[in-house]
Amino acid sequence: MVNEIGLTISAIAMLGISLDFRGQPLSPGSLFRIVALAGEILYFTRIVPIFGAILFLLGAIITVVLWFQNPAERPTQTRLIDVIELVAWVWMALAIH
């Protein structure tokens, strides 16, 4: 059940982020956000869970570091997408074991 919910939340977050970034150039911050979500999907589908967890952690950590290094790089997305992505990240962080 944890994997199905995680996969659903990750897919919704990926859809929201991809819709928010359409037509914009791909910046390093947005690239690593997508990497983190791809890691979540790999983890929850159990294709390669170890690689998915590592990819998620790498993408999430670099995304947060980039936010603090360059405030202009910070995402300008809507609050709903922020909340969906935050829920996906928290679910993934709680699911990693």
DSSP string, 67-84: HHH-GGGS----HHHHHH
CA–CA dist 82, 60 (Å, integer): 14
* CB neighbourhood size of 11 (10 A): 15
Q: How confident is the model at residue 78 (pLDDT cuts 50, 70, 90)?
A: low
Per-residue pLDDT reduced to its tens digit, 15-48:
888 777 777 777 787 788 889 989 999 999 998 9
What's the predicted TM-score (pTM) here? Answer: 0.81
Q: How confident is the model at residue 54 (pLDDT cuts 50, 70, 90)?
A: very high
96 vs 73, which has greater pLDDT? 96
pLDDT score, position 51: 95
